[in-house]
Every structure is written in C-alpha cells, then in structure tokens.
C-alpha cells in the first residue's frame, strides 16, 4: 500500500470518526436533553391535572364546611324535619353546588338525610352505602367520626357502589363553629368523563380517568426521579407521551387511574435541529476532507512521489549520477540534499568495494588453497579451488552442511571442534574430504573463527595432500606388505620345511589312536583319551594347513565363479556337518540372490573364507542362535571404514551374520591380526582364520566391513568386484 493511499485513508478515517462523533453527540446528547425536557414537561402536565383534582376536592370541602357549620343543620340533626329538607335541600341544590351526593348522619349513625342526583341528566340516583336507615359502623367516615380524637374533617376519594367519589366530611356544629358535634355531613362529586372534561379544558391537556385496574404493571421505562408520586408510568410513542398514575382513596387502595397525554412538538423541533446539525457536520466533514487532502498532496505526497521516482530511476537504470533538485526550503529540500550527498558517498564506496573485490577475487580465484567460509553450520562461500577439488558447482555447495563433505569417521570429532571454537581461535588438522564422485581426498586444513556480518563464522584454508598422503600410504603399505610378506614367507618356509615331517608325525598321532579305538570296545575308558589324542592331532594338521594357505598367498589360480555355488558346496561339506555336530544349537539360514553376478577368484580361497566366517559365527553363539548367509548385487559408491579409497562400481556382497556374543571396538580393530583369537586355547581356532579371510579378500581386490556390538552379534560384509556382461566382453 502506497503512502498516498495510507494518508488518504488516514484522513478519511479521521474525518469520518470526527464527523460520526459530532453526529453522535448531536443526536444523543442534544436529543437526550430534548427528551429529558419533554419528559419533565409531561410530568409537570400530569401534576397540573392532579392538582386540578385536588382543587376540586378542596372546593367540595369548602361547600361542606359552609353547610356543616350552620345552626339550622345543627338543629335538623337534633330534630329532623321535612321543612328543613324542603327549604334547604331542593333538587336544584346539587346543580347549584356541583354536587352529586349530600348526606346528614346523626351521632348514633342514623341517616337523617341522604340525597344523590345526576346533575347532567337531572335524575335521582342511589348510593347503596347511604340508602339504609343507619350507616355501616365499619364505614371509614363513621369510624373517623367516632375516633378519639375525631378524624373529621376528612376529604379525599371514596370508593362507592357507583364508582370513585370526590368527597368531604365534616362534623355538624353551630354557626360559631364551636361546640359539641351533632353528627356529620358528607358531600361528594362523581369522578367521570363529565367531570374530567372541564378539568382538561382548565389545564389545556387531554386527560382521562380510568378504572383502578387499568394501570399497567410496567412500561419498561425508567421512573422519573423528580416525581413525588413515584408509581407514575411514562409511556411514549411517535405522536404523544402519556403519564399514568393511580389516585388512592382514604384507605390507601387504588381508586382510579389518572392519564394525561402531551404532544411531542418540542421533541420534533429537537429532531429537526439535529437533522440540520447533521447536514452541517457532513458539509464540514467533506470540506475538511478535501482541504486536508489538497494540503497534504501539495506538501507531502508530491515530494514523496518525486523522491520515489528518483530512487526508482536509479534502481532501474543504475544511473548513480542522477541528482534531486535542492530548491525546496522545507524538510524535503533538506532530505534531497542529504540524499544527493549519500549518493556521492555510495559512488565512492562502490569504487573502493570494486577495487577490493577485484583484489580479493584475484587472490581467491588463483589460489591453490581450498578456501571456505562457514556460518551457522552452512557453507557461505567456496573458492574455485574447493569447487574443483569436490566436483560440486557453486549452487550445489553454497548452503549445504560442511560435515557432509567430511568422511563419516571424522565427522564427530570435527563437529565437536567447530562447536567448541571461540572467536579469534585457530586450529589445524588433517581431514578426509568426500568428492561428488565419492572419491576421498586428504586435506591439510587450518581454520579460525572470524566475524562475518554480525555473527561469528569459521574461515578454513586447506591444501589437497591426497597424492602426498597416497605416496606416503603406499610407502607404508609397501613396507607393511614387505614385513607381512617376510612373515608369511617365514611361515611358508617354516610350513613348507616342516610340513612333510609334521604330517608324517601327525599321521601317526591321528592314525594309531583311530586303529586302537577300532580294536577296543566303545565302553573302554581308554577310548576317551585316545579320542583326545586324535582330535589334537587333527587340530595340529589344520594349523599346518592354515600356515600353508597363508604361505601360498595369491598363487592360487583365479577363475570366474559364483559365490552361491561356493556357499552351496560348503553347506554340503563334511566340515559344516562336523561343526554342527559340535554345536547342535546353531541354525544356518541362507538368503542367496538368484541372479547374483559372477566374480573372478579362487574357489579354494573363497571356500576357506566362507568356512572360517561360518565357523567363527557358530562358535560365537551362546545357546540357541542363528547364522545367516546372504548374497546380493550392490552398487558401491560410499566410503568404507578402514580403506583410504573405495572404487565405485558393482559388487557381489557376501554377508555372514550371527546372533552371538559380539565384540567390542578394540577386538574389531585387531580381529585380522595373525594369531589373534578370543577363543579358549586348545579348544577351537588357531588364530589364523580371520587372517586368511583378510588376505583372501585383499587378493580378490575386495573390501571387508565389520559390524559388531557386545551381546548383539556380529555381521561381516565382504565386497567382491562383480563380473557383469560388459566386463566379460
């Protein structure tokens, strides 16, 4: 995303958030204030209606007071008379005083007069509570009259058989308003729509009186905190708001429900004001957006685009001489001057780097030393001499693990040395390098820890001394072969010189005990001793035969042969049967490749090899065990421990493995030395069997690989060069 897009999006976001915030504030804060005022006005209107009802009660109470403090009324209750009724209580008295009920009750509760009239219809009506001769003793007005102290005067709302009644009750007294009460007077007025209509006109509102059961339980709206009548409900819709509350009678029970409707003109004006503010805020937002964009476009985006275009031009064309104009006086002008100065420095640095790189390349490319740089266990640089030595291309070698180029026998030591190396520390050594073709090269190496970038790295220099080491090795091998040949020649001379005489002696040692054993009964105790003499003679004869085999060396004739045929011949031999008779717990298994290649070798020597390997494997078993003989064709393209070089190609591999006691590393290293044996002296082995195996494999240009671990068995892999069809042709 470009900086221009980011700036535009940022401006749009800021202006949008500001606009929305102002719109929200206008809508919620301003409208909420209008709503609060509307709500307060609605409750004020409701209070006006309630005050009007209370004023009507006060009017009834004033009339009641005038009629109760009157000598004629006082005398009437002492001695009721029709003349008082006819004179003072005619039918029009109700309409004149806007009353519906007038009742005189004496101190004993007897009703002296009870009159009720519908002043609108001008007809008489009946209140069941005041039609009998006596008032109910439990009636709240009578109980108030008889209270101590008396509860009269009493005014408020009374529930009657004809509905709620605004009433006033006062004790009847003489005109001086003092003396002993002579009963009480009750005056009342119905609460109905006819009464509410003039009250509505008086307060200028739409008001209603409903039955006490019409009060909703809840509106889901919060109560008005400023009300003295906390139970009032506030209901609003699109056209009006309604406030409802119960008016309770003198006993505290709901008598009726007052409902006052108020229009929402004030709130609608608030909505119109918010709408105007919204358009004003939107216009200001658009204006601010365009103004900020044009300002930032001129002061920031245009200079940034110019810098970007200049940098891209240098990147695309490589023109390091291009320069920015420096005529601006602001930060971008300063940035242009710094950028131009930086380009001058870059040009100078590039010149020095090119000179240094040319010098380095000259030294590195024409050096006979192998040079590599290793960081984080990966090759970061390899000079042409190293590439030529290993046979790898630069793309193949860079990024690989350097230990993959090292001979497996030397990897652990070199890996540990690299891990323990410290900054500015150097070390040297001789390592074997494996080329791409699998060839082993000897390298005299010197390495040191240096800093490359911000991390340590290993800089290694090496000289290929393969030919030098090969010459030294050949000299050593030649000397060793001379010594070995001298030993073998000595053994051969010894064996050839005494073999005839020893065989003559051994014939007697072996033959005479056999003749004696044939002439003696089997249970004769001497048989055991004669058998020991005969077996010792046979072992001595075998020892002489081994000496002769070593002494003959590679003089045996080599022919094309199959390892499978030699193995099958040995499996049918008397030697194996005799071996298995001595070790009945041994099991011989074979896995012979059906299409095994031929090899070029001596059947006699190969047979000796198979016999010695199998004999060693069987004698290494502890109890029941398995000896496996396997043959297979294999492409050998890897190094083998103990050999400086291994010729790549097809080989026939002979494997003899056992599940016996195994050997430790020290014994494995000495196993092919003459007369080295871990077997019990005199019971089996001459110490020359594995020497015969080594010499025979070497005479056949082959290799031996040994795998053995204590208590895990031993495996011998013998590699003989294969004679495939192209070789034969």
Say which CATH topology domain 556-728 has.
Heat Shock Protein 90 (3.30.565)
Give the pLDDT confidence score for residue 631 in this predicted structure.
Answer: 96
> What is the rounded CA–CA span in Å between residue 700 and residue 689?
17
> What is the rounded CA–CA span in Å between residue 709 and residue 713?
6
Is 374 in contact with 461 (CB distance < 8 Å)? no
Pairing of strands 206-211, 254-263: antiparallel
> What is the rounded CA–CA span in Å between residue 115 and residue 120?
15
- Residue 526's pLDDT band, with cuts at 50, 70 and 90, is confident
Contacts of 336 (CB under 8 A, 6+ apart): 307, 324, 325, 326, 328
Give the pLDDT confidence score for residue 627 in this predicted structure.
Answer: 94
**pLDDT tens column, 219-245:** 444 444 434 445 677 877 777 888 888
Give the pLDDT confidence score for residue 222 in this predicted structure.
Answer: 43
Instruction: Give all strands of the β-sheet with 378-382 in edge-to-edge order.
Output: 378-382, 370-375, 455-464, 440-452, 426-434
Calculate mean pLDDT across residues 168-175.
Answer: 92
> What is the rounded CA–CA span in Å between residue 234 and residue 42?
9
- Of 366-370, 437-441, 517-521, 611-615, which gets the smallest average pLDDT? 366-370
Instruction: Give all strands of the β-sheet with 154-160 in edge-to-edge order.
Output: 123-124, 111-118, 101-105, 184-190, 163-171, 154-160
340 CB-side CA count, 13 A? 11
> What is the rounded CA–CA span in Å between residue 562 and residue 682?
35
Task: Note the helical H segments in 69-91.
Answer: 71-78, 82-88
Highest mean pLDDT among 104-113, 260-269, 489-498: 104-113
> To which H or E segment does residue 265 belong?
helix 265-296
DSSP string, 213-225: GG--S--SSPPPT
Whether omega before 565 lies within 30 degrees of 0, making that bond cis, reads: no
Whether residue 598 is predicted with pLDDT greater than 90 in this model: the reply is yes
Q: 374-388 as b/e, with b when 16 or more CB fall inside 10 Å?
A: bbeeebebbbebbbe
> What is the rounded CA–CA span in Å between residue 577 and residue 253?
125
Q: Token match 């002579």: residue? A: 182
Calculate mean pLDDT across residues 6-21.
Answer: 78
Whether residue 548 is predicted with pLDDT greater than 70 in this model: the reply is no
Q: Do domains 367-464 and 556-728 have the same CATH topology?
A: no
Give the pLDDT confidence score for residue 225 in this predicted structure.
Answer: 41
Give the pLDDT confidence score for residue 618 in this predicted structure.
Answer: 92
Query: Both ends of the chain: CA-CA distance in Å?
Result: 71
Please give the structure tokens belonging to residue 132: 């009998």
Share of the chain above pLDDT 90, in %: 20
How far, in Å, are 377, 417, 626 from residue 400 at the CA level? 8, 19, 43
Q: How far is CA 330 from the centre of its chain?
A: 49
Whether residue 552 is predicted with pLDDT greater than 70 in this model: the reply is no
Whether residue 543 is predicted with pLDDT greater than 90 in this model: the reply is no
Q: What share of the chain is helix, strand, coil (3-state, %, to 5)?
A: 50, 25, 25
List the CATH code of the domain at 367-464.
3.30.450.20
Q: At what angle do helices 31-68 and 265-296 cross, to 10 degrees?
A: 160
Calculate mean pLDDT across residues 629-657.
Answer: 91
> What is the rounded CA–CA span in Å between residue 521 and residue 570?
34
Which residues are 240's β-sheet partners? 263
Give the pLDDT confidence score for residue 279 in this predicted structure.
Answer: 82
Average pLDDT, the chain: 82
Highest mean pLDDT among 495-504, 524-533, 608-617: 608-617
Whether residue 185 is predicted with pLDDT greater than 80 in this model: the reply is yes
Sign of CA dihedral 492, 493, 496, 500: negative
Q: 250-263 as b/e, with b when 16 or more CB fall inside 10 Å?
A: beeebbbbbbbbbe
> What is the rounded CA–CA span in Å between residue 637 and residue 639?
7
Whether residue 717 is predicted with pLDDT greater than 90 in this model: the reply is yes
How far, in Å, are 370, 524, 544 from residue 536 at the CA level? 62, 20, 12
Calculate mean pLDDT across residues 146-173.
Answer: 88
Give the pLDDT confidence score for residue 597 in this predicted structure.
Answer: 95
How far, in Å, are 43, 47, 93, 165 from residue 232 at the CA level? 9, 11, 37, 21
> What is the rounded CA–CA span in Å between residue 591 and residue 594?
9
Whether residue 285 is predicted with pLDDT greater than 60 in this model: the reply is yes
> What is the rounded CA–CA span in Å between residue 163 and residue 161?
6
Q: Token match 């030098």: residue? A: 468
Give the pLDDT confidence score for residue 686 in this predicted structure.
Answer: 62
433 CB-side CA count, 13 A? 23
| 3-state SS, residue 65 | helix
Give the pLDDT confidence score for residue 349 in this predicted structure.
Answer: 85
Q: What is the DSSP letter of 590?
A: E
> What is the rounded CA–CA span in Å between residue 613 and residue 554?
19
Please give the structure tokens belonging to residue 176: 């001086």
- Residue 446: phi and psi, rounded to 5, are -130, 125
Nearest to 150, CA basis, from 166, 172, 131? 172
**pLDDT tens column, 556-579:** 678 999 999 999 999 998 889 988
User: 398 versus 193: which is more confidently predicted?
Assistant: 398
Domain ranges of the chain: 3-45+265-308, 367-464, 465-543, 556-728
Please give the structure tokens belonging to residue 431: 């390592």
Whether omega before 153 lies within 30 degrees of 0, making that bond cis, reads: yes
Single pTM value for the model? 0.41
> What is the rounded CA–CA span in Å between residue 177 and residue 71?
9
**pLDDT tens column, 110-143:** 999 999 998 888 888 888 888 888 998 888 999 8
Give the pLDDT confidence score for residue 4 in this predicted structure.
Answer: 66
User: 228 versus 75: which is more confidently predicted?
Assistant: 75
Number of neighbours of residue 360 by Cβ within 10 angstroms:
11
DSSP string, 484-542: HHHHHHHHHHHHHHHHHHHHHHHHHHHHHHHHHHHHS-TT-THHHHHHHHHHHHHHHHH
**Residue 559, exposed/middle/buried by CB under 10 A (0-12, 13-18, 19+)?**
exposed
Q: What is the DSSP letter of 230?
A: T
Number of neighbours of residue 614 by Cβ within 10 angstroms:
23
Q: What is the DSSP letter of 402?
A: G
- Residue 240: phi and psi, rounded to 5, are -155, 170
Pairing of strands 586-591, 625-636: parallel
- Residue 497's pLDDT band, with cuts at 50, 70 and 90, is low
Calculate mean pLDDT across residues 688-713.
Answer: 87
> What is the rounded CA–CA span in Å between residue 244 and residue 572?
121
Q: Token match 């082993």: residue? A: 440
């Amino acid at each position: 995303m470009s900086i221009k897009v980011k700036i535009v999006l940022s401006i749009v976001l800021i202006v949008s958030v500001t606009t929305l915030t102002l719109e929200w504030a206008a809508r919620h804060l301003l409208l909420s204030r209008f709503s609060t005022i509307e709500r307060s006005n609605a409750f004020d209107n409701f209070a006006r209606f309630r005050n009007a009802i209370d004023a009507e009660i006060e009017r009834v109470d004033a009339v009641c007071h005038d009629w109760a403090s009157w000598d004629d009324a006082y005398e009437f209750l002492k001695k009721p008379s029709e003349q008082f009724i006819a004179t003072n209580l005619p039918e029009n008295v109700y309409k004149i005083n806007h009353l519906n009920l007038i009742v005189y009750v004496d101190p004993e509760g007897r009703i002296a007069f009870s009159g009720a009239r519908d002043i609108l219809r001008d007809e008489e009506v009946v209140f069941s509570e005041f039609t009998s001769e006596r008032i109910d003793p439990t009636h709240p007005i009578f109980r108030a009259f008889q209270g101590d102290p008396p509860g009269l005067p009493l005014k408020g709302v009374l529930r009657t058989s004809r509905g709620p009644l605004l009433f006033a009750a006062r004790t009847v007294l003489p005109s001086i308003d003092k003396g002993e009460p002579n009963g009480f007077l009750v005056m009342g007025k119905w609460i109905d729509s006819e009464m509410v209509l003039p009250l509505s006109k008086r307060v200028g509102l739409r008001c209603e009186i409903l039955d006490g059961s019409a009060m909703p339980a809840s509106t889901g709206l919060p109560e008005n905190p400023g009300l003295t009548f906390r139970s009032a409900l506030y209901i609003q819709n699109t056209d009006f708001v309604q406030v409802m509350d119960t008016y309770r009678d003198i006993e505290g029970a709901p008598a009726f429900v007052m409902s006052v409707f108020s229009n929402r003109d004030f709130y609608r004006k608030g909505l119109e004001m918010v709408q105007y503010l919204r358009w004003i805020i939107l216009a200001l937002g658009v204006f601010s957006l365009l103004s900020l964009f044009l300002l930032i476009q001129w002061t920031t985006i245009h200079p940034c685009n110019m810098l970007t275009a200049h940098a891209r031009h240098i990147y695309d064309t490589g023109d390091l001489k291009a320069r920015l104009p420096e005529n601006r006086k602001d930060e971008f002008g300063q940035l242009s001057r710094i950028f131009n100065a930086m380009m001058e420095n870059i040009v100078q640095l590039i010149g020095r780097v090119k000179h240094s790189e040319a010098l380095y390349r000259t030294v590195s490319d024409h050096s006979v030393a192998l040079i590599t740089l290793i960081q984080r266990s990966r090759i970061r640089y390899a000079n042409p001499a190293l590439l030529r030595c290993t046979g790898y291309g630069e793309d193949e070698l860079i990024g690989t693990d350097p230990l993959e180029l090292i001979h497996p026998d030397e990897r652990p030591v070199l890996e540990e040395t690299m891990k323990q190396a410290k900054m500015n520390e150097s070390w040297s050594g001789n390592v074997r390098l494996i080329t791409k073709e699998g060839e082993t090269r000897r390298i005299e190496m010197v390495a040191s820890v240096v800093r490359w970038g911000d991390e340590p790295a290993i800089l290694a220099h090496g000289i290929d001394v393969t030919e030098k080491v090969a010459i030294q090795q050949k000299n050593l091998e030649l000397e060793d072969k001379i010594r070995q040949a001298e030993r073998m020649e000595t053994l051969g001379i010894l064996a050839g010189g005494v073999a005839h005489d020893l065989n003559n002696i051994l014939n007697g040692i072996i033959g005479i005990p056999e003749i004696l054993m044939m002439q003696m009964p089997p249970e004769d105790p001497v048989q055991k001793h004669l058998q020991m003499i005969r077996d010792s003679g046979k072992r001595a004869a075998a020892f002489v035969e081994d000496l002769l085999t070593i002494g003959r060396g590679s003089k045996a004739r080599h022919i094309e042969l199959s390892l499978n045929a030699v193995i099958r011949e040995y499996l049918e031999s008397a030697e194996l049967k005799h071996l298995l008779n001595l070790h009945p717990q041994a099991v011989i298994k074979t896995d012979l490749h059906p299409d095994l290649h031929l090899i070029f070798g001596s059947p006699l020597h190969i047979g000796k090899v198979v016999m010695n390997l199998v004999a060693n494997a069987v004698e290494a078993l502890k109890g029941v065990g398995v000896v496996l003989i396997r043959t297979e064709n294999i492409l050998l393209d890897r190094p083998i421990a103990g050999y400086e070089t291994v010729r790549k190609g097809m080989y026939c591999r002979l494997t003899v493995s056992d599940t016996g006691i195994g050997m430790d590393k020290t014994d494995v290293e000495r196993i092919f030395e003459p007369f080295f044996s871990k077997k019990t002296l005199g019971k089996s082995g001459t110490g020359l069997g594995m020497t015969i195996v080594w010499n025979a494999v070497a005479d056949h240009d082959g290799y031996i690989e040994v795998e053995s671990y204590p208590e895990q068995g031993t495996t011998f892999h013998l590699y003989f060069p294969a004679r495939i069809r192209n070789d034969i042709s």
